[in-house]
Amino acid sequence: MALIARPGRGLRLDLPVGIMEEEFGAEEIVRVDPADMPAGLEHGPTRRFLAEVGLPKDGLMFWLGDEDTLLETVTEERERLRRDPRLRHLPAGDTLPADIGRLLVLGGLMHDFDIVIDGRTGAVHYLECGADTAVPVNADISTLAFTVWMHSREQKLDKEHGLTDDFYHQLADTMVAVLASVDPVACLPATGPDDYRYWPEVFHDQAGAVL
């Protein structure tokens, strides 16, 4: 799996043409017209990836934002959610990172995390509601797509071969090793008890049957 993609143009990976459509179905892949991308998304390689490759609407642990809210700023998202009468439980004044203006909401991750892109660098982070720190989750949008693709491939292989029946932790270790080989950012060692590294943690979540 780590050999599926070569180095990218301004991104870590250049995914093979059609790989996302083959895995998720052509009707499930969303591409974004450059004219619909916000000015805050300055990072050219990320813009090109969204326009040419795209992402799946539902990638199991990841889902893409709705068309009308895709790539809104975190501030815009929080303000919109607080206007929703179904979400009155949201805190009235959560603390946001100082550089919040350049973080654009791409979608979400399981466990109630936003997944956001730094519009200037293309770095991908997750952000909890009420958090004051955006935590790295993938190096860029190409390795996020690779991670989502790899997880989907694993799910299909497991249905055929029952890999998780007896070898769950070995499989989780392998998934982390493969991801680390193409995206060291995704698997950086935690720096403290509150430094939650998303993909290594969820891949090892046997109780939650993530794999």
% residues pLDDT > 90 (the chain): 55
pLDDT band, residue 141 (cuts 50/70/90): very high
Biggest distance spanned by C-alpha atoms of the chain = 49
Q: Are 123 and 117 in contact (CB under 8 A)?
A: yes
User: What are the sequence ranges of the domains in the chain?
Assistant: 1-211
Mean pLDDT of the residues in the chain:
87
In angstroms, what CA-CA distances link 171 with 4, 154, 165, 203?
A: 19, 9, 10, 9
Sign of CA dihedral 206, 134, 184, 115: positive
Which pLDDT value is given to residue 130?
62
In this model, does residue 148 exceed pLDDT 90? Answer: yes
Tokens 């299909």 belong to 156
The pLDDT tens digits of the residues spanning 68-99 come to 889 998 888 777 766 665 554 555 555 565 66
Report d(CA 105, CA 136) in Å as an integer.
Answer: 14
The SS3 call for residue 136 is strand
Please count the other Cβ atoms lying within 10 Å of the Cβ belonging to residue 125.
21
Q: Are 106 and 64 in contact (CB under 8 A)?
A: yes
| pTM exceeds 0.75, yes or no | yes
In this model, does residue 128 exceed pLDDT 90? Answer: no
Amino acid at the residue 15: L
